[in-house]
Amino acid sequence: MKTNLKIVRYLIPSVFLLAFIHCQDITQPIQFNHQHHIEEVGYTCTDCHENVKSSSRASIPNISICEECHTDMESDSDEANKVGEYVNSGTVIKWIQVHRVPDHAYFSHRRHAAIAEIECTVCHGQVEAMTKPFQRPFTELTMSWCVDCHKDSQIQIDCYSCHR
> Of 135, 116, 131, which Cα lies nearest the Cα of 146?
116
Q: Please compute the mean of the pLDDT values over residues 94-104 and round it to a whole number.
A: 91
* Residue percentage of the chain with pLDDT more than 90: 66
Contact 109, 56 (CB under 8 A): yes
Residue 71, domain member (yes or no): no
18 falls within a domain: yes
Task: Render pLDDT for 45-73 as a digit per residue (tens, 0 to 9).
Answer: 999 999 999 999 888 999 999 998 898 77
Q: Which of the 8 DSSP states describes residue 56?
A: S
How many domains is the chain built from? Answer: 1
Domain for residue 137, yes or no?
Answer: yes
Q: The domain containing residue 104 runs over which residues?
A: 2-60+95-162
Residues 108-137 pLDDT 10s = 999 999 999 999 999 999 999 999 999 999
Phi, psi torsion values for 131, nearest 5 degrees: -100, -5
How many angstroms separate the CA atoms of 134 and 151, rounded? 28
The whole-angstrom separation of Cα 18 and Cα 13 is 9
Position 81 in a domain: no
pLDDT band at 1 (very low <50, low <70, confident <90, very high): very low
List of residues 6+ apart from 129 with CB closer than 8 A: 34, 35
C-alpha dihedral, 94 to 11 to 105 to 62, nearest 10°? 0
In a domain, 36, yes or no: yes
CA 54 to mean position of chain CA atoms:
15
Those residues whose C-beta lies under 8 Å from the C-beta of residue 56, and which sit 6 or more positions away, are: 106, 107, 108, 109, 110, 111
Q: Are 96 and 147 in contact (CB under 8 A)?
A: no
